Chain A
Amino acid sequence: EADIYQTPRYLVIGTGKKITLECSQTMGHDKMYWYQQDPGMELHLIHYSYGVNSTEKGDLSSESTVSRIRTEHFPLTLESARPSHTSQYLCASSESLSHEQYFGPGTRLTVT
């Protein structure tokens, strides 16, 4: 059973606010990922990390930033939220030599 957590689950916030989406996993996985998904669309990778102090931008350009100071923690930050950031954000993790990714429950973000 995968143990990966995301908070908050739902967030409604006004334009211009700074937000941080939290993601934590207790499996000791080295690799972690952030995806963005809109209804009826594929999951788009926006950030990934292969270990502490390693972060890379994904295939989809995003104004968000991430950090990986601890193995278990991979927060995503938006300095100034805009309506175009409204989406579902999914965090995932995997073992170093595995293709299988375990997903958290997601954060549904709405920017008004």
Chain B
Amino acid sequence: QKEVEQDPGPLSVPEGAIVSLNCTYSNSAFQYFMWYRQYSRKGPELLMYTYSSGNKEDGRFTAQVDKSSKYISLFIRDSQPSDSATYLCAMKENQGGKLIFGQGTELSVKP
């Protein structure tokens, strides 16, 4: 079983929809929870991060971490065609820089 599980999709939604992306994990030592966005033929870029549990909001994006359930989510409000990309959850322990990534969910937002 993988340390981080993420549904690869693909997920297709109409413009303006609310998108929910999720990951589950098994390692209770994870303390940092990130969402990276990867456009086709590009390297991943950090979208948001959360330390430990809780919610974080940045514009149309909201990240949630529930450590008791080992479950993290990313919500995208008022989705735009420019949001079409692969979204990767990533996690790491307190020390060190090793990121463990989910499989990535491919999102397509249709105009």
Please indicate whether A and B come from the same complex rather than being unrelated chains.
Answer: no
Q: Which residues of B contact A (CB under 8 A)?
A: none
